[in-house]
Amino acid sequence: MLIDMHTHSSGISGCCQLNAFEIVEAAKEAGLDGIILTNHYDSEGHQDYGSKADYVENYIKEYYEAKACGERVGLKVFFGIEVTAEFMERIHLLVYGVAEDFLRNNPELYNLSLKELYELVHKNGGVLVQAHPFRHNCPVLDTDYLDALEINCHPLYKTTHYEDVKAGALKGGVMLTCGSDYHGDTYRAFCGVCFPEDVRTIEDISQYIKNSSQITLKVHEVDGISENRVYNK
């Protein structure tokens, strides 16, 4: 089961060019089995909506709209979060495996330190992944407080930084994940993580990342073809 672990929709992520239905259709047409909707979650979003509660509820509503679209076309849509961290410029962190109430109970995730966010996510049964390290020269963060690093196949960047990210993950003893960071740009990156068929829920996905020592990624390099790469932690 191939799941793109990093996607967006325009209802929350204003930088995305496609709405929830269009994102789901594009993923289905590309041949994916599922996506994790990881819309941007940041302090600017709260300012745009006027209140934290309104922002959170609209964020969750967008996920359910995408999930309903997925059910109509036969694509699994899972709940995720991409937190824009305030502690360091350009750092984005992906949260998987938490319930929607996690946001309701913790509306200011972007104000937490890496350690605080990691401990909170783990307390709630999830995992924390650094999104697209090395993009814009962003360093690999302290892997003591990460479960994985992401191989990112965004079509507007020249490389996935696969070898550098892999080296950072091996050094830190953490897992790799893979996603497109798809915003409707240029082409649909055919990429993600190849999960066993018995991985059916976002909680299953979270536990697989946390407990597995091996993972198969489908990596799409720019101007290249998608290929499977096996990573051993």
Catalogue all structural domains in the chain, each as residue range(s) with its CATH number: 2-232 (3.20.20.140)
Q: For the residues 144-160, what does the mean pLDDT come to?
A: 93
Angle at 114 between CA 155 and CA 112, to 5 degrees: 105
Pair type for strands 175-179 and 192-194: unpaired
Pair type for strands 148-152 and 127-130: parallel
Summarize pLDDT for 13-37 with one digit per residue, the tens.
877 778 899 999 999 998 999 999 9
Both tokens assigned to 86: 């305030």
Confidence (pLDDT) at 200: 94
Pair type for strands 76-84 and 92-96: antiparallel
Both tokens assigned to 180: 């497109």
Q: For the residues 38-52, what does the mean pLDDT come to?
A: 87
Portion of the chain with pLDDT greater than 90, in percent: 80
Angle at 26 between CA 158 and CA 164, to 5 degrees: 25
Q: How many CA atoms lie within 13 A of 18 on its CB side?
A: 20
At residue 188 the predicted structure's pLDDT band, cuts being 50, 70 and 90, is low
Closest CA to 52 of 40, 44, 62, 64: 44
Both tokens assigned to 205: 């996905």
Confidence (pLDDT) at 186: 56
Query: Average model confidence (pLDDT) for the chain?
Result: 93
CA distance 23 to 226: 19
Residue 197 has pLDDT above 70, yes or no: yes
